[in-house]
């Protein structure tokens, strides 16, 4: 039996003030990293829900700038009555999602804030593990792999990403954005460091802003905000073959 045609997009509940390109700004959910997979998944006929560890979110400052949010995406974001905003603004705590197996696809959206709460987001991690154990697709983008810091494959007892190829936001990009000192000050683990610690193989595109994703079986990951759509499309393609 195929997994349910239903998807959960995980959202960070964390926020912090970080130095980004020499400007102190608020990090939180990178909007397009939730909106783009939402649009891809709904267009593919999925029922899509959101959840965060605390049932809350803070929009990332950078993600609201014209380079990242414009046109139809901007209109959807600004329309608080849009289905996307209603679901996002009214999302439950992950603890209230009792059965992750009701989802056939899990997608971890991100933003720098994901580095803060995803590693200890036990209920989001539980849901991801339940989707995986039920034969579904687990996907992430940008800083989303921070969630895998403590996601275990129930079948093996090993880290879900152990021995697998993944990608995510590059440390080079953190340095380019001049945010690294603040991240280190918060004692946060970068995506490539999570991969190395857990025995995964981290790969990246040559360019830090290139659209790039990796498919390794039922695990799909994207490098940056520019990859959110292609990562979601790849996740749907994997789902269709299950």
| The predicted structure's pLDDT at residue 2 | 84
> Mind telling me the catalytic residues?
142-143, 174
Judge if pTM exceeds 0.95.
Answer: yes
User: Is there a contact between 201 and 166 (Cβ–Cβ < 8 Å)?
Assistant: yes
| The predicted structure's pLDDT at residue 191 | 98
Across 32-158, the runs of DSSP E, i.e. the strands, are 47-52, 105-108, 137-141
Please check the confidence at residue 42 and state whether its pLDDT lies above 90.
yes
Mean pLDDT of the 52-66 span? 97
User: Is there a contact between 26 and 185 (Cβ–Cβ < 8 Å)?
Assistant: no
pLDDT digits (tens, 9 = 90+) for 191-237: 999 999 999 999 999 999 999 999 999 999 999 999 999 999 999 99
pLDDT digits (tens, 9 = 90+) for 118-176: 999 999 999 999 999 999 999 999 999 999 999 999 999 999 999 999 999 999 999 99
| Residue 60's pLDDT band (cuts 50, 70, 90) | very high
What's the first-to-final CA gap in the chain, in angstroms? 9
| The predicted structure's pLDDT at residue 199 | 98
CATH architecture of the domain 6-240 equals 3-Layer(aba) Sandwich (3.40)
Please check the confidence at residue 84 and state whether its pLDDT lies above 90.
yes
Helix (H, G, I), strand (E, B) or coil at 133: helix
| Residue 9's pLDDT band (cuts 50, 70, 90) | very high
Whole-angstrom CA distances from 145 to 82, 93, 220 are: 28, 20, 10
User: What is the share, in percent, of the chain residues with pLDDT greater than 70?
Assistant: 100
**Hey, which residues does 82 pair with through a beta bridge?**
none
User: Is there a contact between 128 and 161 (Cβ–Cβ < 8 Å)?
Assistant: no
| The predicted structure's pLDDT at residue 1 | 73
pLDDT digits (tens, 9 = 90+) for 85-120: 999 999 999 999 999 999 999 999 999 999 999 999
| The predicted structure's pLDDT at residue 76 | 98
For the chain, give every domain's residue range.
6-240
């Amino acid at each position: 039996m195929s997994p349910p045609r239903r998807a959960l997009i995980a959202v960070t509940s964390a926020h912090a003030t970080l130095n980004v390109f020499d400007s102190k700004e608020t990090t939180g959910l990178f909007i397009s990293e939730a909106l783009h997979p939402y649009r891809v998944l709904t267009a593919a006929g999925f029922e899509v829900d959101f959840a965060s560890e605390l049932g809350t979110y803070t929009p990332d400052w950078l993600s609201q700038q014209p380079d990242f949010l414009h046109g139809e995406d901007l209109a959807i974001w600004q329309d608080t009555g849009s289905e996307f905003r209603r679901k996002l603004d009214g999302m439950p705590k992950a603890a209230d999602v009792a059965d992750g197996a009701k989802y056939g696809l899990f997608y971890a959206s991100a933003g720098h804030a994901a580095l803060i709460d995803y590693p200890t987001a036990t209920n989001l991690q539980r849901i991801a593990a339940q989707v995986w154990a039920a034969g579904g697709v687990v996907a992430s983008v940008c800083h989303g792999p921070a969630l895998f810091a403590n996601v275990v494959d129930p079948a093996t007892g090993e880290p879900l990403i152990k021995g697998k190829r993944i990608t995510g936001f590059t440390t080079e990009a953190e340095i380019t954005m001049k945010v690294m000192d603040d991240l280190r000050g918060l004692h946060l683990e970068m995506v490539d460091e999570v991969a190395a610690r857990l025995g995964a193989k981290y790969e990246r595109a040559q360019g830090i802003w290139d659209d790039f994703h990796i498919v390794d079986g039922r695990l799909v990951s994207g490098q940056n905000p520019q990859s959110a759509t292609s990562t979601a499309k790849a996740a749907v393609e994997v789902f269709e073959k299950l």
